[in-house]
Amino acid sequence: MNISDELYQQVILDHNKKPRNFGKLEGATHFAEGFNPLCGDHYNVYLTVDDSGIIENAMFEGSGCAISKASASMMTQAIKGQTIEFAKSLFDQFHKLVTGETVTDDGNKLLGKLQVFAGVCRYPARVKCAALSWHTLTGAIDESQDTVTTE
């Protein structure tokens, strides 16, 4: 089951089972709702951002497949304590990773643990699962009022 191991790495399975930063964030300054109408994956992403643009806290809630949940969980870990700018450039790299574009060494350094999602690019149907919470994050940062969808 090599391919399965590639897609469902232990780290991903672990975050699916025990999602970090899971729940509603009271007093959030930024919020967005993300929805994949094709599969029903549905997540809310909450941020508290201070005046200098640092993401003090990031949380998410909702339901979906293992790939989408693990992605959301690891995303919140990766952006906590970082700047909005950092989160945006991290998403750029993450997007490249899961869509199979070349990621530079610097990009991989930035991604760190998130590199476990590299296998997703071989499964086009699952790219949206991995990217959903990140699109939602962008929506929260931009304070978009509409539900973010992957369609």
Q: Residues in the site for another protein, rule: CB under 8 A?
A: 1-4, 7-8, 13, 38-42, 63-67, 123, 125-126, 129
In three-state secondary structure terms, 78 is: helix
Name the token pair of 149.
């969808």
Of 146, 94, 143, the residue nearest 121 (C-alpha): 94
Between 9 and 82, name the residue whose CB sits nearer to another protein. 9
- Nearest distance from residue 139's CB to another protein, in Å? 21
Between 4 and 145, name the residue whose CB sits nearer to another protein. 4
- Nearest distance from residue 69's CB to another protein, in Å? 8
- Nearest distance from residue 7's CB to another protein, in Å? 6
| Cβ 114 vs Cβ 126: under 8 Å | no
Residue with tokens 């939602």: 136
Between 64 and 139, name the residue whose CB sits nearer to another protein. 64
